[in-house]
């Protein structure tokens, strides 16, 4: 039986590279008031690009990752948008004191809560947040409603789309 899985997302938000850079710089300005930080811990994979940009802007040279998996690939789209249990694939050997914990997005907060318990003393910042996860992070740049699916620049491919009139 081929049953279609119903999605909790009403529509999509596409974040462009320029928007991501702008929002990261806005985050950096706010982080300047919170630091200095010993280093950055990026939540892999989504937090790795923002963490690298933040490391550059704040001149932080100590970078580490905590690796977690909380999405499974959808059979229909190939996108990782099906929730699963949070699995920590690689941790760090401290409680996060003096470190900046970075992710691209906090969605439901499930992954963030697990990581927050492992690194309770880290300062947790994300570029974007949704209501169910917003309370887990200390700082974010933008908030989106829970029913939006966020596509990051590394998730999409730009291609030509013919004018609407040509498709009629």
For residues 142 and 167, the model is more confident at: 142
pLDDT value for 2: 42
Predicted model pTM: 0.84
Active site residues: 103-104, 107
DSSP letter at 60? -
Q: Is the dihedral of CA 111, 136, 57, 50 positive or negative?
A: positive
* Pick from 84, 80, 100: nearest CA to 92: 100
What pLDDT, on a 0 to 100 scale, did the predictor assign at position 166?
A: 78
pLDDT in tens, 117-127: 999 999 999 99
Extended strands (E) in the chain: 11-14, 39-44, 63-72, 82-90, 99-106, 123-129, 139-143, 148-151
Name the average pLDDT for the chain: 90
Higher pLDDT pick, 143 / 164: 143
Locate 143 and state its tokens.
């908030």
Query: What confidence tier does 112 reach under pLDDT thresholds 50, 70, 90?
Result: very high
Q: Is the peptide bond before 115 cis (omega within 30 degrees of 0)?
A: no
> Encoding tokens for residue 37?
């930080």
Dump pLDDT digits (tens) for 7-42: 677 889 999 999 999 999 999 999 999 989 999 999
**Residue 144: pLDDT above 90?**
yes
Identify which of 125, 145, 149, 150 has the alpha carbon closest to the alpha carbon of residue 136: 125
**In sequence order, what are the beta bridge partners of 43?**
66
């Amino acid at each position: 039986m081929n049953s279609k899985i119903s999605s909790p997302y009403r529509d999509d938000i596409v974040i462009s590279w320029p928007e991501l850079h702008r929002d990261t710089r806005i985050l950096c300005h706010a982080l300047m008031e919170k630091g200095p930080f010993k280093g950055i811990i990026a939540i892999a994979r989504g937090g790795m690009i923002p963490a690298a940009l933040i490391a550059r802007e704040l001149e932080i040279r100590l970078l580490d990752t905590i690796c977690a998996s909380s999405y499974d690939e959808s059979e229909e789209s190939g996108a990782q948008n099906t929730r699963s249990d949070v699995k920590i694939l690689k941790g760090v050997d401290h409680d996060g004191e003096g470190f900046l914990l970075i992710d691209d997005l906090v969605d439901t907060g499930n992954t963030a809560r697990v990581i927050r318990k492992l690194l309770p003393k880290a300062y947790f910042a994300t570029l974007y947040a949704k209501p169910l996860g917003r309370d887990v992070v200390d700082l974010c740049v933008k908030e989106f409603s829970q029913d939006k699916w966020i596509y990051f620049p590394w998730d999409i491919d730009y291609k030509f789309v013919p004018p609407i009139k040509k498709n009629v």
